[in-house]
Amino acid sequence: MISKNEEPVIFKGTKKGLLIVVDGTYPFDELLDEINIKLHESGDFFREGQVKVQVKNKQLNLTELNLLSKLFSEETNLELAEIISEAGEVLVSFPSSFQRELGKREEPDYRINNSLIIRKTLRSGQKVEFPGTIIILGNVNPGAEIVAKGDIVVFGELQGICHAGAKGDVEASILAVKLMATQLRIADLVSRAPEGTPVVPDTPERAFINGNQIVVESIDHNKLKDKI
């Protein structure tokens, strides 16, 4: 167990909810145990609302983020909102409104470096908007809609409506393993799929602006990985 002199985990109540300050020099599993102990010691005082976690001397990886999120969802009604640096910079933001729309899932969505990562297939009628890049680890079904200020990357089938560069960024692009969108929009340009049964592409494709029109080209699959 933790035996250093300084407290590895500090709880602070704020107007916006609970702030948990953790010292990243301690082993991560011990930090989780310490957070859990403090949550139980606090009784019902910190049992619901939003929580921010400030991490000192460490950058959490996706596995650690997942474990931290599960701790709050399984042990309390607290909603993990943000991970912030020692200087107060937002490192990771958990988009709660979209989580509520889709319901609970084993893996949370993350916003990292102004990118929203969604680990779920979007169904018809669902719409996602984000002021940055959107990365979908799943399919986008017909009738679903994605609107991003930056790029859109789909590691699956893209069959819905897609709008990249929504604030006028003509350098934005749309990438998908299978690009079959009913409508592509980049900045102010629009391209619609031809009527009839969509053609399933053999390779990943990228849509971007060339001249004054949206063009689609095949790309190497490794370029998709570079977007994360």
pLDDT at 1 over 50: no
**pLDDT in the model for residue 224:** 47
What's the CA gap between 182 and 198, in Å, rounded? Answer: 9
Residue 136 has pLDDT above 90, yes or no: no
Task: Report, as an integer, the average pLDDT of 185-198.
Answer: 80
> What does each C-alpha distance from 46 to 18, 69, 162, 224 come to in angstroms?
7, 15, 40, 41
pLDDT at 99 exceeding the cut of 70? no
Mean pLDDT over each residue of the chain, to the nearest integer: 79
What's 107's DSSP letter? S
- Lateral strand order in the sheet of 127-130: 127-130, 145-148, 161-164, 183-186, 189-192
Task: Give pTM, 2 decimals.
Answer: 0.53
So what's the pLDDT on residue 2? 45
Domains in the chain and their CATH numbers?
A: 9-93 (3.30.750.50), 114-225 (2.160.20.70)
